[in-house]
Amino acid sequence: MDISIVVPYHGEDIYLKDCLTSLAEQSVDNFEVVLVASGVDIPGNIIDEFADKLNIRTFRTDKTTVSAVRNIGMDNALGDYIAFLDCDDYLSWDYIEKLYTLAVSEGSDFVFGKIENTWYKRSIYLDHNSKKVEEEEDEDESGDETDSDRQFDFEIKSGDSADTIRKKKLYGAGKYLLLRRKTVQNITVLGILFKKSFLTDNDIRFDEDLVYYSDWPFLCRAIAGAIVCDGDKEALYIKRTHNDPIHMPSLIQTIGKDDFEHRLKAYEKVTGYVGDAQSDVRVKFDRKLITYLVSEAGPAIRKNEDKTWRKKRLSPISDVCKQFAAETVKVSGFYRRRLIKAFIAKDIKKICRLTGNKNLRNWAVRIIKGPGRLKIIKEFTYKHRYIKQPMLDNVVLLESFFGKSYSDSPKYIFEKLNDMYPGKYEYVWILDKKTALPYPAKQVKRFSFGYYKYMARSKYIVFNSRQPKWFVKRKGNVFLETWHGTPLKKLVFDMDEVVSASPMYKKTFYIQSRSWDYLVAANKFSEEVFKRAFVYDKPMLKYGYPRNDILHADNRDSLASAIKKKVGIPKDKKVVLYAPTWRDDEFYESGKYKFDLKLDLHKMKKALSDEYVVILRTHYFIADNLDVTGLEGFVYNLSKYDDIAELYLISDILITDYSSVFFDYANLKRPMLFFTYDLDKYRDVLRGFYIDMEKELPGPLLFTTEEIIESIQNINTVNAKYSAIYNEFYDRFCGWEDGHASENCIKAVFK
Ligand code: C2G
């Protein structure tokens, strides 16, 4: 057997198929797969699927460290060469052929390819041709290579002997595999093909004492011991970052932030094997470790004021720093040298001063460099000033749709609070445009200084979307999250791949939602979805939606007449409201989406204008201002109208698509039509739905303007046809609504 691919398996079924498919589709078949299941059963069904495409041998062990599992794989490998492949990763189609050809051409001890990072499964990765999102750069400068520098290179001069070239390659390999990895954490045995006899002759194995970072000593020994090596940057190893570190964390995601001890333990092993601090491998590894100590460990010591914690860390750091070769420290730069000196002297004061000044300098650089300079200054003021000022105990801060409108549940909570407790609270509304409000309230623009101030100091916060990432939850703060719709489109942790948002979405959402104290669930269905999809186990307010109180108000008919008058729609005309949602894949830039109007309003005018008018209402993400010239008096473009609930009240028929508006509109028990011209794409490609649109909707799915017109002309027939489904739908989604949601939420939150 030429090659053994060692694959540790730990129950990651959702990834394993991609991994094995990438092996089954290799351009060569001179390899075996050694799959070692650790602490779980061998996934027989998946193995069976690949039985005739791959030569797989399986092993099971109760040992759970990746070091032990890989050793079992190595011990059982029959190949002359061995490569490690994590079962959540996959390979380019010619990876094995490329590395093997290179390895045998000179009998290399090891050869390596290139690691590409991705958040996506294989089909999406291939489709986007390696659409990759880099991890956010570390906040502190690393002082090492930048992404574009991360190449394997060596310079050959004419007249270089074969031996010199070999040495240059070894030196370049050390640089590439150690120094040029983004962080010390990224130093890995993945993406490398090792000659088995080289490993056994040198007794290179994974150290089973190590739970994490066993790759470090393994790789350092290999680089230190090798005589011949080479690299091919076309051989791609594709490393997947898990987008769900909560349910399906990768090994590195399980460590947590404070993995200091694991790192030092692994470093001890490195120095145990590669003792000479002046050796090429140690110098490179040490430089990487210095980056970690300076940019992460040092600031962590400053931030944690617990004296025992600090002491516990400082002693071993001091010992480690004493081991660095003087030359390695010397080339590290002025700041690093001073900090290392302070580490060695265990001088906490100096460490705090140096890292504190560095932190301030980093802020200053970010501010000077821009772009978004002013925003950085505001964030700085938030973190260093506002958050330290006393909390304003009677201030309620409210925001709806990111400050775009005075609307939705926060509006109804605000009005009801004023009615229930006149004069008790002061209100601050986040609104981008100055708005006439029915009760006194300060208005601040999103991202203004005032906004940051009230985000830091308000005791009560009532939002219908997520707050920004930099928000710090203060002791005593009460956060009421109303959310903005019963979920139809799959949310957060129910999404498999996150292609429509940042791949960090799940993690970020998880962190943000930990700040919420109360979450409104308008119905049992939402409660169940939120619990799972938001991983939310704090109290939910189960009284219906505050924003739907108006739809059950006793005076809703007189309200409707007043609204109709306000927007200029004739009393005698019936109203069709067209309120579609946004499309994840049609946008100008983040937050600014396109909308291609597929409804032929001219045709509708011809057929319906005697009896009806149409209100056009695009989603708040839509940046396009739809052209309605020639349709005056028939079409009213109320896309900028603050509160859609008021538009529900004045309409007789709703046309929508995949928008949560239909759950709310159902409160009125009025007819609904679904203009779902791109159903397949929306359901199968973009999002996936929680309900079966074809079976469970209380109205017909329509695909052309003609069908829409026909349904409106025969609306009584539609009503009759859907009456039973409508009743069921109403009970399921509107059952908790009684017009008192605002009041009940207020009683629970503003005790
Ligand atoms: N909305 C609106 N006008 C539209 C569409 C939506 O005013 N044309 C408002 C409604 O209040 C709706 C809310 O925006 O309930 C959310 O819109 P959705 O179309 O459902 O889409 P999205 O913003 O992606 O939210 O759980 C809810 C989901 O997160 C959906």
pLDDT tens digits for range 702-725: 999 999 999 999 999 999 999 999
Tokens, residue 741: 């949601």
Whether 644 is in the pocket of ligand 1, judged by its Cβ within 6 Å, is yes
Query: DSSP assignment, residue 81?
Result: E
Mean pLDDT over 324-348 rounds to: 93
Whether 619 is in the pocket of ligand 1, judged by its Cβ within 6 Å, is yes
Whether 489 is in the pocket of ligand 1, judged by its Cβ within 6 Å, is yes
pLDDT at residue 132 greater than cutoff 70 = no
Looking at the CA of residue 621, tell me the nearest atom of ligand 1. Answer: 23
- The confidence score (pLDDT) of residue 257 equals 65
Tokens, residue 148: 């574009």
Looking at the CA of residue 407, tell me the nearest atom of ligand 1. Answer: 11
- The confidence score (pLDDT) of residue 144 equals 52
In this structure, which residue's CA is closest to atom 4 in ligand 1? Answer: 619
- Torsion of Cα atoms, 309 then 310 then 312 then 317, to 10°: 140
Burial 718-744 (b: 16+ CB within 10 A, else e): bbeebeeebeebbebbbebbebebbbb
Threshold 0.85, pTM exceeds = no
Helix axes 741-749, 408-420, angle to 10 degrees: 70
**CA 238 to ligand 1 center in whole angstroms:** 37
Residue of 644, 676, 686 to test ligand 1 pocket, by largest number of atoms within 8 Å of CB? 644
Confidence of residue 145 (pLDDT cuts 50, 70, 90): low
Whether 661 is in the pocket of ligand 1, judged by its Cβ within 6 Å, is yes
In this structure, which residue's CA is closest to atom 18 in ligand 1? Answer: 659
How far, in Å, are 290, 345, 671 from residue 395 at the CA level?
47, 48, 41
Question: Which residues, at least 6 apart from 371, have a Cβ–Cβ distance to it below 8 Å?
Answer: none
Looking at the CA of residue 617, tell me the nearest atom of ligand 1. Answer: 8
* Residue bearing the bigger pLDDT, 680 or 541: 541
Looking at the CA of residue 485, tell me the nearest atom of ligand 1. Answer: 27
In this structure, which residue's CA is closest to atom 5 in ligand 1? Answer: 619
**CA 644 to ligand 1 center in whole angstroms:** 10
Mean pLDDT over 28-33 rounds to: 97
Confidence of residue 140 (pLDDT cuts 50, 70, 90): very low
- The confidence score (pLDDT) of residue 123 equals 78
Residues in the chain, overall count: 751
CA distance linking residue 82 with residue 204, whole number of Å: 12
pLDDT at residue 204 greater than cutoff 90 = yes
Lowest mean pLDDT: which of 20-34, 376-390, 676-690?
676-690
Confidence of residue 139 (pLDDT cuts 50, 70, 90): very low
**CA 453 to ligand 1 center in whole angstroms:** 28
* Residue bearing the bigger pLDDT, 446 or 539: 446
Whether 581 is in the pocket of ligand 1, judged by its Cβ within 6 Å, is yes
**CA 582 to ligand 1 center in whole angstroms:** 8
**CA 601 to ligand 1 center in whole angstroms:** 23
**CA 343 to ligand 1 center in whole angstroms:** 54
**Residue by residue, what is the 3-state secondary structure of 660-689?**
CHHHHHHHHCCCEEEECCCHHHHHHHHCCE
Mean pLDDT over 483-488 rounds to: 97
Lowest mean pLDDT: which of 166-170, 218-222, 368-372, 710-714?
368-372
**CA 356 to ligand 1 center in whole angstroms:** 44
Mean pLDDT over 50-56 rounds to: 96
Residue 24, classified by CB atoms within 10 Å of its CB into exposed (0-12), middle (13-18) or buried (19+), is middle
- The confidence score (pLDDT) of residue 141 equals 42
**CA 665 to ligand 1 center in whole angstroms:** 12
Beta strands in 529-634 (DSSP E): 540-541, 574-579, 587-589, 592-593, 612-616
pLDDT at residue 136 greater than cutoff 50 = no
Whether 617 is in the pocket of ligand 1, judged by its Cβ within 6 Å, is yes
C-beta of residue 8 within 8 angstroms of C-beta of residue 66: yes
**CA 155 to ligand 1 center in whole angstroms:** 58
pLDDT tens by residue, 58-105: 999 999 899 999 999 999 999 999 999 999 999 999 999 999 999 999
CA 617 remoteness from chain centre: 30
**CA 590 to ligand 1 center in whole angstroms:** 17
CA distance linking residue 46 with residue 43, whole number of Å: 6
